[in-house]
Structure 1
Amino acid sequence: MMTLHRHLKKIAKATLVGAAFAALATSANADTTLRGASMFDEQHAFTKTLMKFDELVGQYYSGDVTFDLRLNGELGVEKDYVTFLNQGVAIDYTILAPSNMARFAPSIPLMDMPFLFRDLDHWNAVLSSNVLAPLEKELSEKADIVIVGYAGGGTRNLISSEKISNMQELAGHKMRVMGAPIQAQVFNAIGAAPSAISYNEVYNAIQTGVVNGLENEAASIQNLKFYEVAPYLTKTAHSITVRPIVFSGKSYRKLPKDLQAAIMKAGKEAGNYGRELESREDAIKLKQMADAGQIMVSDFANREKLLEMVKPVQDNYAASLNATDLLTAIRNK
Structure 2
Amino acid sequence: MLFGQKFKKVIKTTVACATFAALAVSTTSVNAETLRGASMFDGNHTFTKTMVKFGELVEQYYDGDVEFDLRLNGELGVEKDYVTFLNQGVAIDYTILAPSNMARFAPSIPLMDMPFLFRDLDHWNTVLSSDTLAPLEKELSDKADIVIVGYAGGGTRNLISSKRISNMDELAGHKMRVMGAPIQAQIFAAIGAAPSAISYNEVYNAIQTGVVSGLENEAASIQNLKFYEVAPNVTLTSHTITVRPIVFSGKSFRKLPEKLQAAIKKAGKEAGDFGRELETREDGIKLKQMADAGQIQVAEFADREKLLTIVKPVQDKFAASINATELLEAIRSK
Matched, 1:8 2:9: no
**1:24 equivalent in alignment to 2:24:** no
Match of 1:18 in 2: none
| Distance across 1 between alignment mates of 2:265 and 2:313 | 36
Partner of 2:249: 248
Q: Distance in 1 between matches of 2:9 and 2:252?
A: 21
Q: Distance in 2 between matches of 1:38 and 1:24?
A: 24
Structure 2 residues without counterparts, runs of 5 or longer:
12-23
Asked if structure 1 preserves the Cα contact closer than 8 Å seen for 2:159 and 2:216, the reply is yes
CA distance in 1, matches of 2:168, 2:25: 65
State the superposition RMSD in angstroms.
Answer: 1.4
Distance in 1, matches of 2:25 and 2:76, equals 30
| Maintained 8 Å contact 2:10/2:32 | no
* Cα offset, 1:30, TM superposition: 1.3
Cα distance in 2 between the residues matched to 1:23 and 1:8:
7
Shift in Å at residue 8 of structure 1? 1.5
Partner of 2:116: 115
Q: Distance in 2 between matches of 1:31 and 1:152?
A: 30
Runs (4 or more) in structure 1 with deviation over 6 Å come to none
* Residue identity in the other structure for 2:213: N
The CA distance in 1 between the partners of 2:263 and 2:178, in whole Å, is 35
Give the AA of the match of 2:125.
N
Alignment of 1:1-333 (within 5 A): 3-4=2-3, 7-9=4-6, 12-13=8-9, 24=27, 28-333=29-334
Asked if structure 1 preserves the Cα contact closer than 8 Å seen for 2:132 and 2:330, the reply is: yes
| Larger helix share, 1 or 2 | 1
Aligned to 2:20: none
Separation (CA, whole Å) in 2 of partners of 1:149 and 1:286 = 26
What's the secondary structure of 2:116's corresponding residue?
coil
Aligned counterparts of 1:75 and 1:46: Cα–Cα separation in 2: 15
Asked if 2 retains the 8 angstrom alpha-carbon contact of 1:3 and 1:69, the reply is no
TM-superposed CA distance for 1:3, in Å, is: 3.4
Deviation of 1:24 after TM superposition, in Å, equals 3.4
The code of the aligned residue for 2:314 comes to V
Q: Report the AA paired with residue 62 of structure 2.
A: Y
Work out whether residues 156 and 217 of structure 1, in 8 Å CA contact, stay in contact via their aligned partners in 2. yes
Distance 1:24 1:155, change over 3 A: same
Aligned residues of 2:9 and 2:64 also touching (Cα < 8 A): no
Q: Assess if the C-alpha contact under 8 Å between 1:144 and 1:250 holds in 2.
A: yes
TM-superposed deviation, 1:29:
2.2
CA distance in 2, matches of 1:151, 1:193: 29
Cα separation, 1, equivalents of 2:303 and 2:215? 20
Contact 2:110/2:181 (<8 A) preserved: yes
Structure 1: gaps spanning 5 or more residues:
16-20
Amino acid at match of 1:298: A
- Give the secondary structure class of the aligned counterpart of 2:155: strand
Q: Deviations over 1:89-144 (max 9, x none)?
A: 00000000000000000000001000000000000000000000000000000000
1:12 deviation in Å?
A: 4.3
- TM-score of the aligned structures, taking structure 1 as reference length: 0.95
Q: Is the 1:233–1:298 Cα contact (8 Å) retained in structure 2?
A: yes
Identity %: 81
Instruction: Quote how far apart the aligned CAs of 1:13 are.
Output: 2.1
For residues 13 and 324 of structure 1, the distance between their equivalents in structure 2, rounded to whole angstroms, comes to: 46
Relative to structure 1, the CA distance from residue 115 to residue 23 in structure 2 (aligned partners, 3 Å threshold; closer, same or farther) is: closer
Q: Residue 192 of structure 1 aligns to which amino acid in structure 2?
A: A
Distance 1:97 1:314 in 2: 18
Residue type matched to 1:24 in 2? Answer: T
Alignment check: 8 A CA contact 2:229 2:295 kept: yes
Q: Which residue of 1 aligns with 2:19?
A: none
Secondary structure class of the residue paired with 1:30: coil
Instruction: Give the drift of 1:14.
Output: 5.5
**Structure 2 Cα separation of the partners of residues 24 and 328 of structure 1:** 51
Give the aligned residue type for 1:117. F
Q: TM-score, normalised by structure 2?
A: 0.94
Aligned residue number for residue 18 of structure 2? none
Distance between the aligned counterparts of 2:212 and 2:25, measured in 1? Answer: 54
